[in-house]
Amino acid sequence: MILVTGGAGFIGANFVIDWLMQSDEALINLDKLTYAGNRENLASLANDPRHIFVHGDIGDRELTNRLLEQYQPRAIINFAAESHVDRSIHGPEDFIQTNIVGTFHLLETVRAYWNGLADEARQGFRFLQVSTDEVYGSLASDEPAFSETHRYEPNSPYSASKAAGDHLVRAYHHTYGLPVLTTNCSNNYGPYHFPEKLIPLIIVNALAGKSLPVYGDGQQIRDWLYVKDHCSAIRRVLEAGRPGETYNIGGWNEKPNLDIVHTVCALLDELRPRADGKPYREQISYVTDRPGHDRRYAIDARKIERELGWKPAETFDTGIRKTVQWYLENQDWVRHVQSGAYRDWVEKNYGGRQP
Ligand code: NAD
Ligand code: TYD
């Protein structure tokens, strides 16, 4: 039995679905169901007794303590987080609460539980912290990609809160000996990605005939990885990673944002052409840049490949095609997540941006 937090969100849901496809080991899925958490992502598991969903907060010690005592998991994977940079700029507080304070409370409960385990279970236990490349800050165009020893230089409230959570995880290893693993992954894309993030936003807006907002000059670079490859890397780190180590995860796939938008537009031109026959890229609109916008992220993924033999299965071409197809086939999902709260967000984030 393992415990996954944040398993109703984008990456967590993909992880839970993949886990139960590949293993018979049951899992508890603890999720607060914020705007980003969606039970519909887990609809395919509705009748699967190996999936135990619990609605709750990682910061609720009484609850997490009860779950640990009742189910005695051998590992915890902490996906739960506030994850959107733009939201962290408009309102950082939730990020501090979940990504720092929540992680702290979770670590405290886990430490007590782990201390009480018998020797063998204590040794085999793992706490895996799912983190991001954004904690490393921004790279100049000629700098080498982030390795695990790059210093933490977070620039947004989101990345600063993730960095703080990671530091606590590290400290619980050095101080208390808790067997932790940390993964720092690059930008993910794929099914169930909430349409506030670049790739799903572009697909959804394009199909709705809306403008495609590109921040600043669109030349910021991100390193993209298909979400299922992130999930396979986490499974591999959980299985074979050395406690106390961190592993960078990425697919050597750096691309400027504008290239991403053009690629998505070209795929839609092919798979779902506009009624008027014009290309979707005509909908692109350059808008005011994000404050403090990091220019470039890039992951050096040699350690996980060398030590654990992990490699991504998808190229960007295969992954982005699958993704666009998934959104075309799952328009009901898109409609359902675009609730009133989603519309309020669009107004808040884009209403004030000058084209
Ligand atoms: P997401 O925002 O889609 O999902 C987060 C999930 O956590 C949601 O289901 C939400 O309800 C839940 N949650 C939030 N606060 C909670 C709390 N206090 N207690 C319990 N559950 C809570 O995020 P995501 O994109 O799936 O990211 C998952 C993790 O991976 C995060 O830790 C993020 O920092 C990290 N990460 C994301 C990316 C990416 O490109 N999306 C890349 C690298 C790392
Ligand atoms: P995002 O998906 O928010 O991920 P992150 O900021 O965590 O990397 O954004 C990816 C890139 O796309 C980032 O450089 C900001 C840019 N972007 C836009 O140009 N327009 C948009 O509407 C959004 C949401 C993002």
> Which atom belonging to ligand 2 lies closest to the Cα atom of 83?
7
The residue annotated as part of the active site, out of 134, 196, 254, 300, is 134
User: Is 158 labeled as catalytic in the residue annotation?
Assistant: yes
Question: Is ligand 2 within 6 A of the CB of residue 67?
Answer: no
Fold of domain 2-192+227-252+292-314:
Rossmann fold (3.40.50)
Element (H, E) at 106: helix 103-115
Which of 248, 224, 230 is CA-nearest to residue 312?
A: 230
For the chain, the domains span 2-192+227-252+292-314
Rounded to an integer, what distance in angstroms lies between the CA atom of residue 182 and that of residue 98? Answer: 17
User: Is 94 labeled as catalytic in the residue annotation?
Assistant: no
Query: Could you tell me the CA-to-CA distances from 318 to 2, 261, 312, 315, 324 in Å, in that order?
Result: 31, 16, 12, 5, 10
User: Is 134 labeled as catalytic in the residue annotation?
Assistant: yes
Per-residue pLDDT of the chain (355 residues; tens, 9 = 90+): 999 999 999 999 999 999 999 999 999 999 999 999 999 999 999 999 999 999 999 999 999 999 999 999 999 999 999 999 999 999 999 999 999 999 999 999 999 999 999 999 999 999 999 999 999 999 999 999 999 999 999 999 999 999 999 999 999 999 999 999 999 999 999 999 999 999 999 999 999 999 999 999 999 999 999 999 999 999 999 999 999 999 999 999 999 999 999 999 999 999 999 999 999 999 999 999 999 999 999 999 999 999 999 999 999 999 999 999 999 999 999 999 998 888 888 999 998 786 6
- How many Cα atoms sit within 13 Å of 238 on the Cβ side? 22
